[in-house]
Amino acid sequence: MLLTPERTCPQARTRRFLMVPPTEFTVNYEINPWMDKRKPVDTERAMAQWEALVAAYREHGHDVRLLEGMPGLPDMVFSANGGLSVDGIFYTALFTHPQRVAEAVWHAAWHQTHGSRVVQATQINEGEGDFAVVGERILAGHGFRTSLAAHAELADVTGREVVSLRLVNPSFYHLDTALTVLDETTVAYYPGAFDADSQETLARLYPTAIRVAEADAHHFALNSLSDGLHVFCAADAAGFIDQLAERGYAPVPLDLSEFRLAGGGIKCCTQELR
């Protein structure tokens, strides 16, 4: 295990998640480079992969809550995009593409019913797809799906520092495909997804970050979720799995390859409740 003066031994913390079963999941439109309507989704396989993810979370002590998928919303399974939950506040998504706009309504209703203070976004954003909570700071992506104006609105809503990062590679259209939070002081990211200024910002803020190779990034290595010790990650991101183990984390490899047909993975399927 490699520890630095800035880091202590990784420790797990129990988390709460909101997830949507893939009962409606398919690819019947194309809104990112991963989607191809000519490649059919194996619905049975997708359900089995999603259920394995839920089981892994629960086996590691995490609380999984469910929101029913709605007809006509095949991407609703990607619950991370529905908004951002932090400090008991739920800041809603305001989707870029019309195919997904209605998802935000169902997420807001669930949070309203379960006691969050729901704040309706007035600026385009896709929730945890582009917002990553790292300790007291929020990293925020822009360039494809979320506007810079949403970063300012989020800072006003939460009172937290929001750091903007520009995404420049269409294959990494959301922040959660290019960066993952490992604990309150550590992230992993693929430098090639960001512009030069954002790479400099990440290097300054997170000098001990794990920098992930392009091949692993394309295997959705960074669409992972960490509880501070266990990192639920793509099973075929072998290099990233080795990097995690070297740093003292405990990788939990999972196959969510069916969801990659829509440009999604483990983190996309998981909204954290804070």
Helix, strand, or coil (residue 7): coil
Establish whether 268 is a catalytic residue.
yes
Helices of type H across 20-175: 43-59, 103-113, 148-158
Which one from 174, 230, 233, 269 is the annotated catalytic residue?
174
Walk across the sheet containing 63-66 and list its strands.
63-66, 16-19, 271-272
Q: What is the dihedral of CA 226, 165, 18, 96, to 10 degrees?
A: -150
In this structure, how many other beta carbons lie within 10 angstroms of the beta carbon of residue 99? 16
Alpha-carbon 166 to chain mean position: 16
Helix, strand, or coil (residue 92): strand
Give the CA distances from residue 200 to residues 28, 165, 166, 195, 222, in Å, rounded to whole numbers and listed in that order.
38, 10, 11, 9, 19
Rounded CA separation 45/70 (Å): 19
Establish whether 114 is a catalytic residue.
no
Which one from 62, 151, 268, 269 is the annotated catalytic residue?
268
Which sequence positions are flagged as catalytic? 174, 268
